[in-house]
Structure 1
Amino acid sequence: MATILSRDPSFDMSRLLAGVKKDAPLVVKAYLTHDLATLGQHCGPELMERFAGIFRHFQAEGLVEDPTILFVGEVELVELKAIDDEPLVVVQFNCQQIKCIRDKFGNVMDGSPNSIQKVFYFWGLQQEAQGTVLPDGRVLPPRWVIKDMMVAAGRL
């Protein structure tokens, strides 16, 4: 926590969790629609590389996921730790989503258009080392980047 506060003296965990709650629908939808441009605004390069590989596989197979998100649950802090002296905040939340994957012809390959699934997301967020200096001289605190993501699905 000392490293986090040295980089951002105004850091507040509740504010970070509220920010994740606000960003979660956007990031999850970008993940489901394979929107690398949007994901790149929130995720680190290693995770982006992993996503690109997953998305290439879907594209090669001609598969499209239903991006419908019905509900996003509360964001919870799972763990706060340091990896190589860099702070990592692990959070989790769940979404209710439609579980339906179609082929390029619109045929359902997995799930169904009426299948609602509870999906658990775990994000490892890492604080950037430096803040951003704006053209007017103001300094924004270092942002938090999604370095890792794990997805676990269940049924409702």
Structure 2
Amino acid sequence: MSIELLIYAAVALFLVFRLFSVLGKRTGHQKRPDFPPGAAPEREESRSGEAQDNVVRIPSANDGAAPESAQFSGPAGEGLRAIRGADRNFDPDSFVDGAKKAFEMIVTAYAEGDRKTLKNLLDKATYDSFSGAIDAREKAGHRMEDMLVGIDSAEITEARLDKDIAHVTVTFVSQQVNVTYDGEGRVVDGDPSTVETVSDEWTFARSVKSSDPNWQLVETRVAA
């Protein structure tokens, strides 16, 4: 064998050794891949029993990987599970998010006398009650200002399924400034400089068989 062939062979062996040494270990400085939400990497065991770092599982809907809402084990858990059994798309946490948005819209619409918005969010009986109060306020020449400073908490406290109608009650604790003015701009009720803590219980309802995903406010009361 010539000297040149021996040199080439030695160089090839050196390159193979270097390549193996680089690919065969992790230094801890490699960039972590960007995983989509809900697809955090899981370490799976290979057939040899060694953990593989390069396997990523995206959980399916049947894996049970998504954590169940804590609301199911709360005070309204039994009713929520009944609703979930009739409507697999029902999620208590998403419901609360929507209820908070509805709360803000309804409080604002009532103060502004916005009947159109109220009609879309309330059932007929509740709308008639709200509209009647607005009529009385306007007849007296009064104007209401209601500033929702913020919602401290919104918790599902009751839930039930009556045949195919789901009812969910949310207790809202919010910070508000409520003031009513007369036609001359004088304060007749409330204090514009005072932020009040207000506790309300609102009940929303919808048919679990309806293709319309929207809920309507069907009852309001002051929280005990």
Which TM class, normalised by the smaller chain length?
0.7 to 0.9
Distance 1:3 1:111, change over 3 A: closer
Partner Cα distance (1:71, 1:80) in 2: 25
Partner Cα distance (2:134, 2:101) in 1: 24
More displaced stretch, 82-91 vs 40-49: 82-91
CA contact (8 A) 1:122 1:149 kept: yes
Displacement of 1:90: 0.7
CA contact (8 A) 2:83 2:161 kept: no
The match for 2:106 among 17, 21, 27 is 27
SS at match of 1:130: coil
SS at match of 2:146: coil
Provide runs of 4+ in structure 1 moved above 4 Å: none
The match for 1:150 is 221
Deviations 1:40-78 (A, max 9, x none): 121111101111111111111111111211111221011
Partner Cα distance (1:64, 1:11) in 2: 39
SS at match of 1:52: helix
TM-score (norm 2): 0.58
RCO (CA 8 Å, sep 6+): is it higher in 1 or 2?
1
RMSD, matched Cα: 2.1
The match for 2:116 among 37, 54, 59 is 37
The match for 2:192 is 113
Partner Cα distance (1:115, 1:38) in 2: 27
Partner Cα distance (1:61, 1:84) in 2: 43
Between structure 1 and structure 2, the one with the greater Rg is 2
The size of the alignment, in residue pairs, is 143
Amino acid across the alignment from 1:43: L
1:75 aligns with 2:146: no
Structure 1, unmatched stretches of 5+, are: 133-141
Structure 2, unmatched stretches of 5+, are: 1-80
Partner Cα distance (2:163, 2:204) in 1: 14
Deviations 1:80-122 (A, max 9, x none): 1245662211111122111321001101111222121111221
Partner Cα distance (1:27, 1:147) in 2: 12
Residues 6-155 of structure 1 mapped to structure 2, 5 A cutoff: 6=86, 8-83=87-162, 86-128=165-207, 129-132=209-212, 142-151=213-222
Partner Cα distance (1:97, 1:3) in 2: 32
